[in-house]
Amino acid sequence: MAYKVVRTTEGSPRIVLDEEPVNCKALEPMPNEREPELNEGLWLVMAFAAWSAPDINAIQTAIDVVKSFDGALKLGLRPFDSPEEHGTWCPGLENDENSPLWVALRNGQVCLKTHGFFTVDALVKEIEAACLA
């Protein structure tokens, strides 16, 4: 799967996924509310600063983490320009300025919230400990 971050004519960031797998979804940068599908099953949402090359490079880590769960984990990739945007899809996160932001949801409930750069193995262990224990 290939990906790139672009800007709409209005200036909003978007992620474009090429050959998007079924368990990977490009999410809107600032929705009015959380997408209903994120409330069902196990999801990893990676919110990344659309202007940060290190954040954009970490998308590959997210993709590799989801692959290691053999379909049991879905991935949502959400670009942002400002951390205030987080509150529209996950209340309580609007002031989290650290990125990338990793939020795991199990049936709509936050089971993991962390930020920063991880190896694939380290993030898999975090998700397993917090959401599958």
Give per-residue pLDDT as tens, 24-52: 999 999 898 999 999 999 999 999 999 99
Regions in the chain scoring below 50 on pLDDT: none
pLDDT at 20: 67
Q: Which of 112, 26, 37 is nearest to 77 (CA)?
A: 26
pLDDT at 2: 85
pLDDT at 92: 82
- The sheet that has 101-106: what strands, in order across it? 24-26, 74-80, 42-49, 101-106, 109-115
pLDDT at 30: 86
pLDDT at 105: 97
Centroid of chain to Cα 29: 11
pLDDT at 34: 93
Task: Give me the domains of the chain, ranges plus CATH numbers.
Answer: 2-131 (3.40.30.10)
Q: Which of 107, 94, 106 is nearest to 133 (CA)?
A: 106
Q: What span, in angstroms and rounded, lies between the C-alpha atoms of 128 and 122? A: 10
